[in-house]
Amino acid sequence: MPLPLPVLPEGVDPAWLPPAAFRAVGSRRTLIRGSAPLVETVHGEVAQACRRFGGRVVRGVVPDDAYDLVLDLGTEGQESLADEGFTCARERGTTTVTASGGRGLLYGLFHVVRLGDAAFTGERARETHRPALALRMLDHWDNVAVHPVMGQVERGYAGGSLFWRDGRARGELDRVRAYGRLLAACGINAVSVNNVNVHAAEARLLTDRIGEVADIAGALRPYGIRTHLSVSFAAPITLGGLSTADPLDEAVRGWWAEATRRVYEAIPDFGGYVVKADSEGQPGPFAYGRSHAEGANLLAAALEPFGGTVHWRAFVYDHRQDWRDRTTDRARAAYDHFVPLDGEFAKSAVLQVKHGPMDFQVREPVSPLIGAMPRTRLAVELQATQEYTGQQRHVCWLGPMWSEVLRFRHEHDQSVGELARGGLVAVSNAGDDPFWTGHPLAQANLYSFGRLAWRPDAEPRAVLDEWIGLSFPDAPPQVADGLHAVLDGSWRTYEKYTAPLGVGFMVQPGHHYGPSVDGYEYSPWGTYHFADRDGIGVDRGVKSGTGFAGQYGEPWAGLYASPDTCPDELLLFFHHVPYGHVLKSGKTVIQHIYDTHFEGVEEVEEARSVWASLAGQVDPARHARVAERYEEQLRGAREWRDQVNSYFFRKSGVPDGRGRRIY
């Protein structure tokens, strides 16, 4: 039975799967071979497209030559494709996709959809497609109950949760299924359905409320997506009534084994646990004098018999730091905590590391931890939700930033994309907003994440082309040009009007939206710029500073060690320099601050007018929402510019070289 497509509620944006994206497939004759649950998903997709565009689809073992497209779930000679790979070729008027697993066939279909008419013209040599990373995951920071501070979705800027509302599962499984379909179309294959900060209501998803998780898993399964769950390390106490959560305690191990067995009874293909332990107030193994490897291995042991994995987050640092103490450096913390444990993590444990050493700033160096744990499965965590990058009110396409991170080569010439053997994870930016991501253009971040997780060395502009082609299938060419114009440079634009030269954290405390240069300067969060009347930046060098630069291998340790060799964009992350320090660009630090802040605003003004020129050429609802957000972005960018420039002018006393207005 072909699986019917989920029906979207009235007014919900189709994102990158509008009906018109299926015109090429839907107007042709398709043969589907093979049998597996996901083949029904594939059949449903093609059948729906054919209904709309007049094509035909049949199943069975019949000759290929009467068909434009053959989708073939074979079983022989395709071991190398595993579950997710596929091949695509075209000869003698027939395009053939082969796969050995249901996911592969689904991904192959979406590949053909992306190609559009090009999939059905000329000849195509056989290409084999396999994901570079086996796990391509979204972590939803969704709360079941509305948290008094964090709301329904922690750091959520796209409405409510797709899964939960006011303490309950929403049960709107068609919307969940539609979400899974979008994720499958960009290659995502795993979703964690609740916040890593596991509050009381959320903790119970593991036990008596597992049925609610099973319903979500059932809606995502037809799109090849496994469901994961964030759990509390203290669950044996809070849920099990034990007196300890010590990972070496036999009763604790037994409790987790039994709890996990029941989870798999409810969800046979359950993906595993996500754990934030000993971090920002969450419980963890430190309370029992145990290491994080011992903590992670406890859960790995419970999951291993069922093929599940524990994702253990490396985001562990002192969030009660004294700002007076310049010897402690939060940037060092993950490395200091975890490198000594390399080799001690079990096979079913994945250490999940944020891409930078701090916390998803618009500019950070790549975490040195990623290059320093060869005997540990690492997953790299990105942030699709724009906590520090404009909160989906500002356009900030993160594809180029993520690509830089993934292509960054640690010592022994291994890129982050290669080192992330445990997968690539993003904190989700999706919610029940009609546009899924609040800002319609933020859909590009979600799409780009999936595609970069599939192929970390992909060219981000090419990924953006895919997204544009799918999302705006009938638009004239100037729409694609316009979208590139407003998206390509948007990350650097955002960087320009917010945080100069890698300094970070000049944001409003708590909610992190809008400028506050000293907002985190005297805080316990380990986030400082040390600006005084003479200069700014954090000395993280080995000789005179915190030593963080020494956590890198070469060539980075050497490059970061000196302000003369440190890349400009990270200068203030690694060094405290006078305002008059001359950058490689030839400008002084202070003039760079002024210039980039003026430029950033000008670039937003320009992007806004490019967007305005697209009126009438894109869907009116999308156009209106983006136009409205540009007003807020421009207001925000001006506020950033004026506050940051005024702050540094008042502190440095150095006038702008071009005499522009600073308050």
Whole-number minimum distance, CB 652 to a copy of itself, in Å?
Answer: 7
Backbone angles phi, psi at 151, to 5 degrees: 75, -160
Neighbours of 470 (CB within 10 A): 23
- Please give the DSSP secondary-structure letter assigned to residue 8: P
List 128's β-bridge partners, or say none. 87
Question: By CB under 8 A, is residue 324 in contact with a copy of itself?
Answer: yes
To the nearest 10°, report the CA torsion of 462, 465, 466, 467.
Answer: 120
Q: Of the residues 387, 432, 466, 539, which is catalytic?
A: 387
Choose the stretch contacting a copy of itself; rule: CB under 8 A; options: 89-97, 156-164, 445-453, 528-536: 528-536
| For a copy of itself, the closer CB: 124 or 651 | 651
DSSP code of 465? H
Residue 516 as a binder of a copy of itself (CB under 8 A): the answer is yes
Q: Is 54 one of the binding residues for a copy of itself (CB under 8 A)?
A: no
Minimum Å distance from CB 645 to a copy of itself? 11
Q: Which is nearer to a copy of itself, 285 or 515 (CB)?
A: 515
Q: Is the CB of 551 or the CB of 652 nearer to a copy of itself? A: 652
CB closer to a copy of itself, 558 vs 653: 653
* CA separation for the pair 464, 153 (Å, rounded): 27
* 652 lines the binding site for a copy of itself (CB under 8 A): yes
Does residue 533 bind a copy of itself (CB under 8 A)? yes
* Cβ atoms within 10 Å, residue 246: 21
**Is 375 among the residues that bind a copy of itself (CB under 8 A)?**
no
Give burial (CB, 10 Å; 0-12/13-18/19+) of 73.
buried
Contact region with a copy of itself (CB under 8 A), list: 14-22, 53-61, 116-124, 646-654: 646-654
Best CA proximity match to 107, nearest among 91, 76, 130: 130
Beta-bridged to residue 59, according to DSSP, are 32
Judged by CB under 8 A, the stretch of 100-108, 217-225, 276-284, 517-525 that binds a copy of itself is: 517-525
Single-letter residue type at 329: D
Peptide bond into 555 cis (omega under 30): yes
Q: Is 651 in the site for a copy of itself (CB under 8 A)?
A: yes
518 binds a copy of itself (CB under 8 A): yes
Q: CA–CA separation, 554 vs 221, rounded Å?
A: 44
CA pair distance 385, 442, nearest whole angstrom: 9
273 touches 235 (CB < 8 A): no
**Vertex 202: Cα angle to 197 and 204 (nearest 5):** 130
Report helix, strand or coil for 470.
helix
Cβ closer to a copy of itself: 306 or 323? 323
What gap in Å lies between CA 584 and CA 125, rounded to an integer? 46
- Residue 32 engages a copy of itself in binding (rule: CB under 8 A): no
486 vs 662, which CB is nearer to a copy of itself? 662
- Contact map string, positions 271 to 310, toward a copy of itself, x by CB under 8 A: ----------------------------------------
433 catalytically annotated: no
91, 127, 280, 459: the active-site residue:
280
- Which of 175, 209, 196, 215 has its CA nearest to residue 273? 196
Helix (H) or strand (E) holding 334: helix 333-338
Alpha helices in 392-548 (DSSP H): 399-407, 416-419, 443-454, 460-471, 477-487, 490-497
- Using the contact rule CB under 8 A, the part of the chain among 54-62, 425-433, 497-505, 643-651 near a copy of itself is 643-651
Q: Measured from the CB of residue 269, what is the shortest distance to a copy of itself in angstroms? A: 40
Nearer to a copy of itself, 525 or 556 (CB): 525
Least distance in angstroms from the C-beta of 387 to a copy of itself:
19
- Out of 53, 264, 306, 323, which residue is the one contacting a copy of itself (CB under 8 A)? 323
Report if residue 642 touches a copy of itself, rule: CB under 8 A: yes
Closest separation between CB of residue 647 and a copy of itself, Å? 8
Q: Work out which of 353, 517, 571, 618 binds a copy of itself, going by CB under 8 A.
A: 517
Q: Which is nearer to a copy of itself, 288 or 530 (CB)?
A: 530
Closest C-alpha to 269, from 312, 218, 334: 218
Q: Is 635 in the site for a copy of itself (CB under 8 A)?
A: no
Smallest distance from a copy of itself to CB 264, Å: 40
* Catalytic residue, candidates 142, 212, 215, 359: 359
Q: Does 477 bind a copy of itself (CB under 8 A)?
A: no
- Could you give the maximum distance between any two Cα atoms of the chain, in Å? 80
Give the binding range for a copy of itself (CB under 8 A) out of 202-210, 232-240, 349-357, 636-644: 636-644
Output the smallest distance, CB 653 to a copy of itself, in A.
Answer: 5
**In this structure, what are the phi and psi dihedrals at residue 559, rounded to the nearest 5 degrees?**
-65, -45
Q: Are 201 and 230 in contact (CB under 8 A)?
A: no
Task: Please confirm, yes or no, whether 387 is among the known catalytic residues.
Answer: yes
If the CB atoms of residues 86 and 647 are measured against a copy of itself, the closer one turns out to be 647
Helix axes 173-186, 210-220, angle to 10 degrees: 50
State yes or no: residue 340 binds a copy of itself (CB under 8 A).
no
Tell me the closest approach of the beta carbon of residue 646 to a copy of itself, in angstroms: 7
- Select 414 or 643, whichever has its Cβ closest to a copy of itself: 643
Those residues whose C-beta lies under 8 Å from the C-beta of residue 311, and which sit 6 or more positions away, are 137, 192, 228, 272, 273, 274, 275, 350, 352, 379, 422, 425
Angle at the Cα of 85 from the Cα atoms of 81 and 90, rounded to 5 degrees: 100
Which one of residues 653, 655, 657, 660 is an interface residue with a copy of itself (CB under 8 A)?
653
For a copy of itself, how many residues bind (rule: CB under 8 A)?
22
Query: Considering the complex, what minimum distance in angstroms separates the CB of residue 493 from a copy of itself?
Result: 21
Span of 129-137, 254-262, 469-477, 642-650 interacting with a copy of itself by CB under 8 A: 642-650
Of 532, 562, 612, 628, which lies in the binding site for a copy of itself, with binding defined by CB under 8 A?
A: 532
DSSP per-residue string spanning 212-249: HHHHHHHHHGGGT-EEEEE--TTHHHHTT--S---TT-
Q: How far is the CB of 321 from a copy of itself (least distance, A)?
A: 13
Nearest C-alpha neighbor of 369 from the set 383, 380, 382: 380
Q: Which of 650, 655, 657, 660 binds a copy of itself (CB under 8 A)?
A: 650
Looking at the annotation, which residues are catalytic? 280, 359, 387
Query: Which residues sit at the interface with a copy of itself, rule CB under 8 A?
Result: 323-324, 515-518, 522, 531-534, 639, 642-643, 646-647, 649-653, 663
